[in-house]
Amino acid sequence: MQAVSLKAYAKINLALDVLRRREDGYHEIRSVVQTISLADDLRLILKDSPEIQLVCTGDVPRDERNLAYRAARLLQEETQIPKGVRIELEKTIPVGAGLGGGSADAAAVVKGLNDLWELGLSEREMLRICARLGSDVPFCLLGGTALMQGRGEVVEPLPRLGELWLVLVRPRVQVSTAQVYRAWSQFPPGQPMVDRMLEAIRLRTPMAIAQSLGNMLEPVASCLFPEVAQVKWFLGNHTLGAVMSGSGPTVFGIVESEEEARDLEERIKSHPWDVFVVRTV
Ligand code: ATP
């Protein structure tokens, strides 16, 4: 095998409860997460020397700070493999949007290199390496629908949702995950929604899921970035239900069909926001 091509899928948080700040500075969370069709494209080309090369589009670092690069380097260190790779990364997932783009790229590189370098790692071994790369990376490796706990690295797969159509809207503001989590402690505790979402997933109806969306970081981000509240208000009025994903600023709404999603996309185009029509995968 000389090359592999693969997609790195974004995620959304259907429900996100922040439980407490831990001694190590991370936050203890519970979250129901879902893979969506919005994806980056990766091509991994085998190199016989141990060099790792990265070429990529988009507003992301092009050196060892890039999560795709870090994933390849960590895998090389862990396995002592004397091979290298040229990573070609085409970014589509907006950066710093609460959609886990960097984590998705890292997980895809681990999976792809396991094949390209013929490492023969088990899923369990790959998950351990992914956890070292970031809290959301183990989920990105598994994909589908799952419950995330701990700082995000404890992943329990859930029954897959049927196909849901979603409209994602990202206001053009720069949100720092650290800033949102820091501000969280100054807010009164929010309403936990994860248990309700788990029940809705068992019912498998779009309406039940739409009525159980919740994110404890949303009031915090809305306060720091009023654009988040504007998008939420707009989507809340035009969809079955809407909520912010991760630490924001992207807000998504659930709609009945692709047609409805496309109609809404047209109406949103007059606003200074980025819009994506996606489905669950
Ligand atoms: P997080 O909550 O982990 O910050 P996010 O979904 O909000 O996730 P990402 O798109 O993953 O945001 O980007 C977060 C940060 O990671 C950015 O500062 C970005 O420069 C950096 N980064 C490193 N590698 C990548 C990559 N391959 N794709 C996107 N961002 C990357």
pLDDT digits (tens, 9 = 90+) for 100-114: 999 999 999 999 999
Atom 15 in ligand 1: residue holding the nearest Cα: 96
Contact indicator for 99, 12 with CB cutoff of 8 Å: yes
CA angle 16, 201, 155 (to 5 degrees): 55
Q: How far is CA 6 from CA 83, 112, 186, 203, in A?
A: 19, 7, 41, 32
**Atom from ligand 1 closest to the CA of residue 176:** 4
Q: Which two tokens stand for residue 266?
A: 């047209």
Residue 132 to residue 152: CA distance in whole angstroms? 12
pLDDT in tens, 72-130: 999 999 999 999 999 999 999 999 999 999 999 999 999 999 999 999 999 999 999 99
Nearest to 83 by CA among 51, 54, 43, 121: 51
152 close to ligand 1 (CB < 6 Angstrom): no
For residue 67, how far is its CA from the centre of ligand 1 (angstroms)?
Answer: 8
Contact indicator for 248, 262 with CB cutoff of 8 Å: no
pLDDT of 188 above 90: no
Q: What is the pTM of this model?
A: 0.96
**Atom from ligand 1 closest to the CA of residue 247:** 2
Residue 76 to residue 81: CA distance in whole angstroms? 6
Which active-site residues does the annotation give?
A: 11, 136
pLDDT in tens, 192-211: 999 999 999 998 889 999 99
Residue 227 to residue 232: CA distance in whole angstroms? 9
For residue 259, how far is its CA from the centre of ligand 1 (angstroms)?
Answer: 31
